[in-house]
Amino acid sequence: MNELENRRHNQRLGLGLFAVYLLLYVGFMLLCAFAPAVMELRPMGGLNLALLYGFGLIIAAVVLAMIYGGLCRVAPPPADAADAADAADAADAGKADGKEAEQEA
């Protein structure tokens, strides 16, 4: 019933978090490739930026994954079976549409 809505919500959430991580990753790559001297600065606790940013990326991946897991919407258990059936129907319908379109061609 609201399976499709959940799916949309999850997809939007996923793409949003993906964009956040992509920014971090691209920033890291560009710094490495074009401003390597910046990576040698030691801003915190004697660790250089290369280590901090590198560990940061790994931690960010885990944290974002957890946020995603926490915020994803899941259909309530009792409605689960019905929703699954709906989803299957929808998928079948989609497939049938696709086939028709091909035949029209």
Partner 1 sequence: MIYEFSYATVSIFLAFVVATVGLSFYMGRKATSSAGFFAAHGQIPWFVNGIAFAGDYLSAASFLGICGMIAAYGYDGFLYSIGYLAGWIVALFVIAEPMKRLGKFTFADALDAKFNSPGIKLAAGISTLAVSLFYLIPQMVGAGTLIQPLMGLPYWAGVVMVGAVVIVIVITAGMVSTTWVQFLKGSLLVIFSLVLTVMVLARGFSVAEGGVDGYALQTIGPLTAEQLSKPSIAGREVLPRADGWDEHALVRLRDDDGGYSVFSINEVDGAYRLLEAQAVTSGDGPTLVGGVPKGEGEGERLLHPVGHVTRLPGDAQQTGPLGPLEFFNVLHDSELVLWGEQTVRHASGDKTVVYFQKPTDGSRVLRPGEHPKFAGIRGEASAGSAKLIRDRVNFLSLMLALFCGTASLPHILIRYYTVKDGAAARKSTIVGIASIGFFYVLTLYLGLGAMTSGALDVQSNNMAAPLLARSISQLLFAIISAIAFTTVLGTVSGLILASSGAVAHDLLSGYCKIQMTDAQQVRVAKFAAVAVGAIAILLGIWFEKMNVSYLVGWAFSVAASANLPALVMLLFWNGTTRQGVISSVIVGMTSSLGWILLSSDTYKQVYGIDPELAIAPFTQPGIVTIPLAFLTLIVVSKLTAQPRDE
Q: Which residues of the shown chain bind partner 1 in the complex (CB under 8 A)?
A: 7, 10-11, 14-15, 17-18, 21, 25, 28-29, 32-34, 36, 39-40, 42, 45-48, 50-51, 54-55, 57-59, 61-62, 64-66, 68-69, 72, 74, 84, 87, 91, 94-95, 98-99, 101-102, 104-105
- Least gap, CB of 79 to partner 1 (angstroms): 13
- Least gap, CB of 7 to partner 1 (angstroms): 7
Please state, as a whole number, how many other Cβ atoms lie within 10 Å of the Cβ of residue 91. 10
Q: Which is nearer to partner 1, 5 or 98 (CB)?
A: 98
- Least gap, CB of 46 to partner 1 (angstroms): 4
Q: What burial letters (b/e) apply to 46-74, b meaning 16+ CB within 10 Å?
A: eeebbebbeeeeeebeeebeeeeeeeeee
Phi-psi domain of 74 (left: phi exceeds 0; alpha: psi -120 through 50; beta: other): beta
